[in-house]
Amino acid sequence: MSTTTSSSLQVSLLLSLLLSLFILTSLVAVSAGNFYQDFDITWGDNRAKILNGGNLLTLSLDKISGSGFQSKNEYLFGRIDMQIKLVAGNSAGTVTAYYLSSQGPTHDEIDFEFLGNVSGDPYILHTNVFSQGKGNREQQFYLWFDPTMAFHTYSIVWNTQRIIFLVDNIPIRVFNNLESIGIPFPKSQPMRIYSSLWNADDWATRGGLVKTDWTKAPFTASYRNFKANACVWTSESSCVSLSTNSLQTSEWQNQALNAAERNRIRWVQQKYMVYNYCGDFKRFPQGLPAECKRSRFL
């Protein structure tokens, strides 16, 4: 082989290697969403900020106003992940909400709400599911860690069979599709992602007995590493599968709990659940909602 041919081969190999590295880098670069690209700040003036080139978003609350944001896209089924670090210290009276919702009087909604508390007392994670405008399906949990010390991942898996709530990939709640017995299930209304930090001291902490201590303001919650492996709604009749993580699959489409996950959700619900509407006979004197009799993990 001539020197010229050998040099050309080496250049060709080098170019191939550089192209492979570029493709790999591109895949990694889109493994998490960018807040500039994926979200709009919707209220709160300068209390909501996108930082670090779009990799971090913060919401703040003071006595004048809270703040919030929403996704640019609407989704019809998928898996949504967000890492959140909650308000530290005395967060009593504050609520950090992170949820999926459509619009209108018969809207669908899938809720995470974090109810603040006085220093040293645990947050309460409040969950709910609305279908065709009807909610009242609350479950509440303590967390098994301090959610103010570091970022933790809060996820929603939503497919045609069920909705799964996860914390650090541990399932805490499942809401099954029970349309067969007349229970509406969110399946036809595209939903945006919303989040807000706001004052709810009329009910959030101990039923409103503990008020917000404004001497501790501003209160701040932080967000990072948003991921959407989901179907993005593009028109009145179609959606396009989109992932902000090119290495993910679409396993969410049929995702259910395996044996290990059933053990984990049982552990969470036995040790950390503090309210379950399906056990509130005083609230439902005429009988528990129909889904409570049919679903094992609600």
Residue-by-residue DSSP string for 204-261: TTGGGTSPP-GGGPPEEEEEEEEEEEEEEE-SSS-EEEEES-TT---GGGG----HHH
Would you state the pLDDT for residue 81?
A: 98
Q: Catalytic site residues?
A: 109, 113
Instruction: Give whole-number Cα distances, 16 to 2, 19, 73, in Å.
Output: 21, 5, 36
Would you state the pLDDT for residue 18?
A: 37
Would you state the pLDDT for residue 289?
A: 94
Would you state the pLDDT for residue 57?
A: 98
- Alpha-carbon torsion 178, 181, 187, 193, what sign? negative
Cα–Cα–Cα angle for 258, 271, 185, rounded to 5 degrees? 50
Is residue 222 a contact partner of residue 98, using CB atoms and an 8 Å limit?
no
Would you state the pLDDT for residue 207?
A: 79
Profile the chain (298 residues) by mean pLDDT over runs of 10 residues.
46 39 30 84 97 97 97 96 97 95 96 91 96 95 97 98 98 96 95 96 79 94 96 77 58 94 97 96 94 70
Would you state the pLDDT for residue 32?
A: 55
